[in-house]
Structure 1
Amino acid sequence: MAPGWNWESGEGLLGIDDPAEWDAAYERGERRLGTAAIGLAFNCPLEEVSPRLIRAMRLPDQGQRGFAFTAAGTAARLNGELTPELYEALRAVGHRGIAENAIDDTLTFVPFRKLPLWFKWRKVASKVEDKLMTWRLEVTYAIEGARNALRRRR
């Protein structure tokens, strides 16, 4: 076992910086691979991390799969881009559900010009949805304000 990494408790796994150690743990069937994937995203180059994140996104444990998607979002934040394989994995899962935060991080931290087409559409759709929600809330608040003003006059 590498110093500082405890696969049983998960302690120290956010500091993992050795993709080969992650691969060995994957082969052993360790339980906290998603947690360690976040550590890899923090500490290793994107090209080395990407295939491991893809594998972690397919783990049987839903919680650890969720951490793998968190790691993808972390990679987008830190690198300002993702690999084509990670973009495709996020797209395959879709914007709702387990990948929502990772996709939102990607749309926030990756420049528009670097995004694949689906992500560009998702960003535009997200902006339109946000604007429609804003208008709806503004109208709702205006109507509520008018009702309150009329009630005070009575």
Structure 2
Amino acid sequence: MASEWDWEGGEGLLGMDDPAEWDAACERGENHLGTAAIGLAYGCSLEEAAPRIVRAMQLPDFEQRRYAFTAAGAAARVNRNLTPQLYAAARDEGPKGIAVHAIADTLYAVPFRRLPLWFKWRKVRSKARNKLESWWLRSGEAVGDAWRSLRGRRS
């Protein structure tokens, strides 16, 4: 049976909603599996999509791995949760690698109480850092305003 999906060119794979077709394409060694994993994140349940997304995260092609991490972020936004395997894969890749956007999407979309400990730590660290940067910028503006005020009085 010929596949209805364009695995060679990748056209239409963002609409992928058939985990069995994704599995068959993976067995055949088709291209664009990471792209199709994004489609699975939107078109299937988290339980169906997650093992395939994790598998796509291990592909040899860097771009397809990057798309798999995009799929993980999409799954987090759609489901407001991830599976333990997806959390582990994102944590293992780290916040400075290709998982940076998947981690950010997860921290944004998943409620704090559902996050594993490492992600909770990332969220607390991020909030604290943002607050400190905000205070630093505001203090710099205050010093600048005071300096301009002093210079204005001398003229």
TM-score (ref. length: structure 1): 0.92
Give the residue type in structure 1 aligned to 2:3.
Answer: A
State the distance in 2 between where 1:57 and 1:133 align. 33
Q: 1 CA distance for matches of 2:3 and 2:149?
A: 68
> 2:141, 2:22 → 1: CA distance?
52
SS at match of 2:98: helix
CA offset at residue 151 of structure 1? 3.9
Q: What's the counterpart of residue 3 of structure 2? A: 2
Letter in 2 for 1:2: S
1:55 paired to 2:55: yes
C-alpha displacement at 1:144, in angstroms? 2.5
Counterpart-to-counterpart distance in 2, 1:30 and 1:148: 64
Flag the structure with larger Rg: 2
Supply the distance in 2 between the matched residues of 1:150 and 1:70 (Cα, whole angstroms).
51
1:28-107 maps to which residues of 2 (within 5 A)? 28-107=28-107
Paired amino acid for 2:88: E
| Local SS of the residue matching 1:119 | helix
Aligned Cα RMSD in Å? 1.4
Show structure 2 runs of 5+ residues with no match.
none
1:85-121 residue CA offsets vs partner (Å, 9 max, x unmatched): 1111111111222111111111111111111111111
Structure-to-structure mapping, 1:109-148, within 5 angstroms: 109-148=109-148
Alignment partners' CA distance in 1, 2:139 and 2:125: 21
Q: How many residues align?
A: 153
In the TM superposition, residue 29 of structure 1 has moved relative to its aligned partner by: 1.6
Q: Which runs of 5 or more residues in structure 1 are unaligned?
A: none
CA distance in 2, matches of 1:12, 1:86: 25
Cα drift, residue 7 of structure 1: 1.2
Identity of aligned residues (%): 63
Kindly provide the CA deviation profile for residues 2-60 of structure 1, in whole angstroms up to 9, marking residues without a partner as x: 33x21122110000111111111112222211110000000001111111111111111
Indicate the SS of the match to 1:97: coil
Whole-angstrom distance in 1 between the partners of 2:113 and 2:136: 30
Q: Give the letter for the 1:114 counterpart.
A: R
